[in-house]
Amino acid sequence: MKNTTTLKFALCALAVTTTGLWAQVVQPVLVQPPLQNVAQLSASGSVEVQQDLLSIMMSTTRDGADAASVQNQLKEALDAALAEAKKSAQPGLMDVRTGNFSLYPRYNKDGKINGWQGRTELVLEGKDFPRITSTAGKIQTLTLGNVGFALSREQRARVEGEAQAQAIESFKARAGEIARSFGFGSYTLREVAINANDQGPIRPRMLAMEAKSTMSDSAIPVEAGKSTVVVNVSGSVQMK
């Protein structure tokens, strides 16, 4: 009798488990109704601004028969340049950092090493143009590589805020116009994406050849350009 009761209990448990699995398998999938009266659109805002960040890259190359000798020559040139640059360094106004430092073998026509070449770089970057250009003019162990202009983080953030406000207002106006054109009285925002970029050239100016013959303690003449910061707003609205 006990064995029969146990068997019945096991069969009931199996039936319940099987029923639960079947319920999970046959549960209907809800199908979302197709979207209706939804419009997708985009708008943009732009602000032109003066580039306020100057970057000057200076460099030198050395070559010789011995790798250690070339490396020491590069180090001496860089150390002297750093010592001069740090006299005028100030965070934000003129930051000083080293660039690439490379050393590689030179091969003859037989594929054998017959010497070594190396290059080192120093970068002066900041918002104080006169401070940076005058410092570059005082450095005698490196020559001018190139000059580039860009927007500082603070300038970019400020301008992006203005461009974003323009883009959002333009998006709202266009959404309302589209809704009215289709005979609707209003709309609600469904989704939106915002991204920003600047379309102004960094404008590197290759002044190395001129600088090699005119390097002195006087400031190097530079002139910044302008960048156009663009913010794009795209998304969809529900017309109603």
Domain range enclosing 133: 47-161+194-239
Flag whether 218 is in a domain.
Answer: yes
Indicate whether 178 belongs to any domain.
no
Distance, CA of 167 to CA of 169 (rounded, Å): 6
Decide if 140 is inside a domain: yes
Asked whether residue 214 is assigned to any structural domain, the reply reads yes
Task: Evaluate whether residue 6 is within a structural domain.
Answer: no
Q: What is the total count of domains within the chain?
A: 1
Q: Is 105 part of any domain?
A: yes
pLDDT of residue 200: 55
Cβ partners under 8 Å of residue 153, min gap 6? none
pLDDT of the chain, 240 residues: tens digit per residue: 545 554 444 444 444 454 444 445 556 666 666 778 999 999 999 999 999 999 999 999 999 999 999 999 999 999 999 999 999 999 999 999 999 999 999 998 988 999 999 999 999 999 999 999 999 999 999 999 889 999 999 999 999 999 999 999 999 999 999 999 999 999 999 999 999 887 655 444 434 333 333 445 566 678 788 899 999 999 999 999
Q: Is residue 111 in a domain? A: yes
Is residue 126 in a domain?
Answer: yes
pTM above 0.75, yes or no: no
- From the number of C-beta atoms within 10 Å of its C-beta (0-12, 13-18, 19+), residue 33 rates as exposed
